[in-house]
A and B are shown apart, each in its own frame.
Chain A
């Protein structure tokens, strides 16, 4: 049996020390991340998080395994989605986990020497193994959670970039501009389709000008997506005008056998806009 109330009490009483010692011995020269922060609130928060960790970890010597894991869950999730920790390279976080693990192994030695003769060598070894096992579990779960949150963050950022790179800009009542720039892959093409349909219906647009002067290549996939966008827009009552097709792009699309016959095309945006003005005067 590894559970021991006396050891638990000893460690809980040392928890504040553990935190202070740990923070003092931190190498604060990391180029980035939570450990080298010099903002007092962040340092305070970091120490509190470390202290809470100890309160949880000590319980490995008094609690049932299942309850121990359950109660730890909250701490792990909090650290994993903590902005400061998310901005810290994971190797630094792992380094600190092992740093703290070392502290525990030392304190167990200290506890054993205070109670010389009371606990067998085997017992002390068992406690140390328990510590290592508990750390292993916490670290693995932390890394797993951290990975999930990092991926979520990355997805959110990608979403923002996507939105920024396909803006539907209102130019006057009922008319809007969608300038497309750069490489278009299927993910982006799908996003552009959905996003501009939504934007046109939300903003009450009935004429969308798609400017392609920033698109360096149109292959069959991109063309197919543009055609689909145009027909979907048509179904919600939006008329489309394409403009700014680069000469080299125009030539390749013709050779690909793509027909833009049913699409209104103007040489550049200015021509597209003024053509529409004449139309509306008529």
Chain B
């Protein structure tokens, strides 16, 4: 642990960079994926195309993507923005299908009753569909969160600092404690964000904690 003691500020700085890169990427992924998922759920035929292209994007290798994005958007290769965009692309690709499923998971009878009571189209989306889609959506967001946090490390290969630097640097200079710190730090961050999401999920879906009467749900 002496390496860690000696490099505490450096590690904390890299951790902070890691958070700064992953959180915006996750947030963007969620927003875009929910929109795409909604479109795919609402118009299934267009949806097939949308979700198909999304999974195709997911299969693009990371390094080429990191080089193509700056060219396409006219931003510097080494900027954090490049990595955030790349991770948002992966996150969206990973989440869009789940988001469509999440809307599909909403009980049709409930939607219909809400519509018949006089919810406007927007009201139906915000007050009925979205809250009821949260449980399935959240399971997808958790996957994206963990995957994004681990993917951030590849930024180190093109010079975008994060906990990944501990891995590249540790390998180059053969400092085992640095590598271990990088791996554990990344995992710890992923687990922490995941726990926060679970807690958030509990808060925004209080009805799920309520125990059903007579065992029926």
Asked if A and B are interacting partners, one says no
**Residues in A lying within 8 Å of B, measured CB to CB:** none
